[in-house]
Structure 1
Amino acid sequence: MSEWEQLKEWAHAVDFEKAQVQALTLDQLDAPVPSPRQIFAIGMNYKDHAAEVNISLPTTPAVFTKYVSSLTGAIAIVELPSESVDWEVELVAVIASGGRNIPRESALEHVAGYMVGQDLSDRDLQFAGGAASQFSVAKSYKGFAPTGPWITSSDQIEDPSDLSMRCSRGDQVLQLGSTKNLVFDLPYLIHYLSSVVELYPGDLIFTGTPDGVGFGRSPKEYLVPGDELISSIEGLGGIRQRFVSRGSSAA
């Protein structure tokens, strides 16, 4: 990602028909950023999501991580480690140029582009510690961070703070939301994170999920073997996961 500007210049200049670039199908694509140094994720960052799980809005971003080994591409088969795996469609930002103490006013200049992401979550493990919730490990099983289908360059997205997003399971619409309902918008998240840690090229920021998660439903509703989850964000495309039981030969 340190050569992001050069890659953009090449992509804008190349004639793909003359270059005879081999077309790939979505299931041939790996995670667009397969080995970032850091993955940040933000909890309770949509007003309606906080309300549905009966949690007060945070006054400071609630930050956790998803471990790099959980990354996978746009089309994936994911094993279910328990009967309480939940869905969370999210806008994922990719950092192009990092640094510390990045001003909010110029924060989006540090973004390479955007992807669709799923913050899959094992609620059993997440709350197994009682008051000491285990967000990071519960959201980092193999395949629990699908991203893609590609990086949409930031100059192709006029306003990342007003993108519609959708998650469905087959014909059942699970989540409908918009990034305009973020509690902390992306410029603030970049500013806040960089005030604590150094951001590096290729770092990922999962910006939070809107309402409609299974944990917030009554009764609670989770993924089961055979489910297919489709997540999309306006202008960014879509990703798809099929779920199987743990140890299944289909995985």
Structure 2
Amino acid sequence: MKLLRFGANGAEKPGLLHIDGTIRDLSGVVPDLAGAVLHPEGLAKIAATDAGSLPLVDTGARLGPCVAGTGKFICIGLNYADHAAESGLDVPPEPVIFMKATSAICGPNDPIIIPRDSEKTDWEVELAVIIGKPAKYVSEAQAMDHVAGYAVTNDVSERAFQTERAGQWTKGKSCDNFGQIGPWLVTKDEIPDPQNLPMWLTVNGEKMQDGSTRTMVYGVAHVVSYLSQFMTLHAGDVISTGTPPGVGLGMKPPRYLKAGDVVELGIEGLGRQRQDVVADQ
């Protein structure tokens, strides 16, 4: 299934992408794509629904983030061997974990907002893993039982805030609209191998990132298991699993976003995003 949320910011409703390409309203079936709805039983209830009988949604409706109630937005740094190389850094011996504020989450086509005093706002196409069933101390063999599905995310980053100022990476990762998620949550049954997904990103039509989850250092099952040793993962938590090479930081000379740019990105089977870049006021 391809699940989504539509409507005005803060008032989104659950929906799904029907096989005929239309968007259908799920609000009469489930309250939102959050919590227990993401458990296996909740997803089974949606799957058993006659999608063709659900109300049609206006094709011009805004798409919101494809999951609600996210308690943790966890990111994995330097998780692609070729991206670590372009950053001039070694592949880490364990996954690098940092947090992105949940207030950064927005819809897949909502604008990238360059924050005040920013000169180094960058792009990162990433595979997001959406947790469906709580996970604590799970083995790698059990990890996929706790995944509801996958989505595209843009881990937008302000590199000066991230690495040139004291402290941790979080403040360079958490500005408003630095976490586009969607367009839809694709349930894991539709993605038999999350470690073989082509992914790409363009700026103003120019290809910047052209990679694959094949070069991920720590795969989805390992990351879910690893994180569950340190914290309980809850339904709706998002894990952004790292980016392939081609970010602005790695270019010579580095290249960053400016107001007026257009960013487009996607992952095979998971859809695509489009974002206008605007300056914060």
TM range (shorter): over 0.9
Q: How does 1:142-153 map to 2 (within 5 A)?
A: 142-153=176-187
Task: Please name the residue that 1:111 is paired with.
Answer: 147
Task: Please name the residue that 1:97 is paired with.
Answer: 133
Runs of 4+ in structure 1 displaced over 3 angstroms?
A: 24-27
Q: 1:101–1:191: 8 Å Cα contact kept in structure 2?
A: yes
Task: Please name the residue that 1:138 is paired with.
Answer: 172
| CA spacing shift, 1:27–1:136, aligned 2, 3 Å | farther
Q: 1:116–1:147: 8 Å Cα contact kept in structure 2?
A: yes
Q: Provide the identity percentage.
A: 36
Task: Please name the residue that 2:15 is paired with.
Answer: none
Cα offsets for 1:31-52 (capped at 9, x unmatched): 1123311111000000000000
- Which residue of 121, 133, 155 maps to 1:85? 121
Task: Please name the residue that 1:15 is paired with.
Answer: 50
What one-letter code is carried by the residue in structure 2 that aligns with 1:38?
Answer: K
Q: Does 1:123 align with 2:191?
A: no
Q: 2:36–2:42: 8 Å Cα contact kept in structure 1?
A: no
Q: RCO higher in 1 or 2 (8 Å CA, sep ≥ 6)?
A: 1
Q: 2:130–2:150: 8 Å Cα contact kept in structure 1?
A: yes
Tell me how far 1:13 sits from its aligned partner: 2.3
Task: Please name the residue that 1:33 is paired with.
Answer: 67
| CA spacing shift, 1:122–1:153, aligned 2, 3 Å | same
The 1-side partners of 2:69 and 2:103 are apart by: 8
- Which residue of 71, 88, 91 maps to 1:57? 91
Tell me how far 1:169 sits from its aligned partner: 1.2
Tell me how far 1:129 sits from its aligned partner: 2.4
The 1-side partners of 2:241 and 2:277 are apart by: 24
The 1-side partners of 2:58 and 2:90 are apart by: 44
The 1-side partners of 2:240 and 2:248 are apart by: 19
SS of corresponding position for 1:90: strand
Tell me how far 1:198 sits from its aligned partner: 1.1
Q: 1:35–1:68: 8 Å Cα contact kept in structure 2?
A: no
Cα offsets for 1:171-227 (capped at 9, x unmatched): 200101111111101111111101111111111100000000000100000011111
The 2-side partners of 1:43 and 1:80 are apart by: 21
Tell me how far 1:26 sits from its aligned partner: 7.0
Gap runs ≥5 in structure 2: 1-34
What one-letter code is carried by the residue in structure 1 that aligns with 2:150?
Answer: Y
Cα offsets for 1:80-122 (capped at 9, x unmatched): 1212100000000000111211110121111000000010000
The 1-side partners of 2:154 and 2:114 are apart by: 14
| CA spacing shift, 1:29–1:6, aligned 2, 3 Å | farther
**What CA RMSD, in Å, does the superposition of the two structures yield over aligned residues?**
1.4
